Structure 1
């Protein structure tokens, strides 16, 4: 996020709105990179966005000619939509966007933390913005000019994860026709983000711990360690102390990573973030060359009070859907807001859910899958390992299915190992 620069004219004419935006952005200690101006003010070229403010009975956010040029018309400086649209317009691509006090405190803390070299552990549900926060820390750090490498530990095959992280020599294993440096060496001098670190196998956790302690990696097929200079940011959507207690995560690695933990709350618990995020999603996905619709106060109210089981990813889906349904209208109204429709209940109440939920194919498949998993877990006495074997899937896949059901609001017991 950035601070604001503003002309004398805009400060006189639009003081209430400008002061509200400055209070939010100033909490992060950012330098001015965006310029606010009134119509007729000179434009001084700079690296950041330029937003022209005007009072109007018809609120609107318009893209003007030139990259990062916007015109914001608003009627009430105290209106939530006016502030949200301004925050979205001045935000740099990929930067955090927030207005909730606790979110701002987390970002301010992350800004201070960026100057250090200590590891960071970011926790929070899927879709709450852990990678965005990781990039924010990197970009505010002395390592900003060096690489930022993001690795999803759950997205890579276990058999390949070690080679992908630490590299390998040519011929080290079948298929290794060329040497590879690995993600640690690719991030040398910069930041390596390890997302979903709870999914890393135990044997690989030990090698990761050694790399962190010694500041070196040993590529597969080599006996010579290679020095590395990498700042680690680890992210987890599961409770790592619980994973440690249940033997799925090494305690020594946890304490090595947990030097400074940050926690991101679900979107439903930071309602003040919803409006600026929604406007930012609209700017991202609205077709270039077409007028931007305005998010009505009623639509914003509906968004604010939704439960957001899918967090920011679900919000992005809803905004993209609303843009299509609005189809060039000047305003996104309540009727354009269509939420995802996950099945809500399983188990004893599942037949009622089947009756009340729309009979979309995705709902039918999700309910059927949940039924099968519940029945198998029950037959296996709650053991995830036995249930996964019966279902013909890995325990990791079963854990993901259970987590996905819970994120969708489906009440499924997690079972035991």
Structure 2
């Protein structure tokens, strides 16, 4: 595990934050390719590196100059915002982004698996980053300089799937005006990702099993087997043992693929990933939304603590894909602003505290209007959500005598999340009585 390369002056000024980020980043990124420095340092960059410049200030800011330089200003080196911003700035275009212990343990295991050639089956709901994990395994493997071919088994016509996987000879069927090597031969020496493997027709599963066992393919129209050297990673968003029991997936193919299973949990169950992912998506999309300080650089609005609290409290039925929708929407709504505040956060579906609309026995209040009903003024979705959550939080705090730790336990959230939510309520102009918040833990 490589350590961060930083100068003594950078360590003196930004050491606490870099130490926190370094413990995470060394397992996810090529940290030797990153040049860390204080914003005032104008010495020459190390060759073939991307630069992250750091500064301390009262307000968090981000900007990006081209693809190779990101500048951050942070207020609190031990806060969630500073760590999330730095992890997002450090990540390359193909790098995974994670901070939650659950996710980091999966990537640590994936790095150990990368050194071998055994098949890997990645399970998890749609939108959780299964292809990102697969690319990470390939990038850390001895096959990293060979092809990575991703095949979505649900996106190809069933009639063409065999030819696209195994190849075909010229004239093998109507329309085959030229020979094709197929995806398996295209991945020779590298990695083949079979995404949504549960959608593969039963008629092809036996042929795929033989190809994987023998490491050879027979193109359509040919009688000669062609050897291939392919490492296979399969992804499934449905429970394959259930599919096997139902007769929709071959048991022998399942056991061939399931040599080492990895599972990605839903985003709501790895909440520490949300902030760094949100900042990374803001960096990626800010320029496309019209935000920018000058033609050569672009400013990126930063999430306030209240906005991050809203993101952490959402249930994320669409996982990372939904988070990207929310970030892009927030960037559009915050055009001209330096920060993304709670009023800029609009979810794909009604937001609620994770798990249930009833918390600590308290009803969360009236639901948003049904589709088609007019919603205006204070009846906007964000306002409804904030006030119903605020009522539940304030009533619980009052019942607990202002003790935040007890209230957080009653609400089923962490004390840190409760603090973030209280900050969000203050930013949104929701008054909180002194008796409700008290001063104790």
The TM-score range, normalised by the shorter chain, is 0.7 to 0.9
Structure 2, unaligned runs of 5 or more: 353-365, 374-441
1:143 maps to what in 2?
Answer: 143
Q: How many residues end up aligned between the 2 structures?
A: 352
1:301 to 309, 322, 329: 309
Aligned equivalents of 2:321, 2:135: Cα separation in 1? 17
Alignment of 1:324-403 (within 5 A): 324-341=332-349, 356-359=369-372
1:57 maps to what in 2?
Answer: 58
| Contact in 1 for aligned 2:125/2:237 (Cα 8 Å) | yes
Q: 1:272 to 1:298 in 2, by over 3 A?
A: same
The normalised TM-score by structure 2 is 0.76
| Contact in 2 for aligned 1:291/1:328 (Cα 8 Å) | no
Aligned equivalents of 1:169, 1:358: Cα separation in 2? 53
2:91 maps to what in 1?
Answer: 91
1:320 maps to what in 2?
Answer: 328
Give the CA deviation at 1:8.
1.2
Q: 1:159 to 1:342 in 2, by over 3 A?
A: farther
Aligned equivalents of 2:5, 2:340: Cα separation in 1? 30
Aligned equivalents of 1:92, 1:269: Cα separation in 2? 25
| Contact in 2 for aligned 1:343/1:357 (Cα 8 Å) | no
Q: Is 1:310 equivalent to 2:318 in the alignment?
A: yes
Give the CA deviation at 1:40.
2.0
1:218 maps to what in 2?
Answer: 218
Q: Is 1:204 equivalent to 2:204 in the alignment?
A: yes
TM-superposition CA deviations, 1:12-38 (whole Å, max 9, x none): 111111111011123458552212111
Q: 1:43 to 1:112 in 2, by over 3 A?
A: farther
Alignment of 1:221-300 (within 5 A): 221-287=221-287, 289-300=297-308
1:104 maps to what in 2?
Answer: 104
| Contact in 1 for aligned 2:315/2:351 (Cα 8 Å) | no
The normalised TM-score by structure 1 is 0.81
Give the CA deviation at 1:48.
3.3
Q: 1:199 to 1:3 in 2, by over 3 A?
A: farther
Give the CA deviation at 1:342.
6.8
| Contact in 1 for aligned 2:99/2:272 (Cα 8 Å) | yes
TM-superposition CA deviations, 1:50-90 (whole Å, max 9, x none): 111111011111123x5321211111111111110100001
| Contact in 2 for aligned 1:322/1:332 (Cα 8 Å) | yes
TM-superposition CA deviations, 1:341-364 (whole Å, max 9, x none): 3799xxxxxxxx99833328xxxx
Q: Identify the range of structure 1 (30-39 vs 315-324) with the bigger mean alpha-carbon deviation.
A: 30-39
Aligned equivalents of 2:114, 2:237: Cα separation in 1? 22
Task: Give RMSD over aligned pairs.
Answer: 2.2
Aligned equivalents of 2:220, 2:367: Cα separation in 1? 51
Aligned equivalents of 1:319, 1:214: Cα separation in 2? 46
| Contact in 1 for aligned 2:267/2:320 (Cα 8 Å) | yes
Question: Per the alignment, in what secondary structure is the counterpart of residue 325 of structure 2?
Answer: helix
| Contact in 1 for aligned 2:330/2:345 (Cα 8 Å) | yes
Aligned equivalents of 1:219, 1:296: Cα separation in 2? 56
Question: Per the alignment, in what secondary structure is the counterpart of residue 73 of structure 2?
Answer: strand
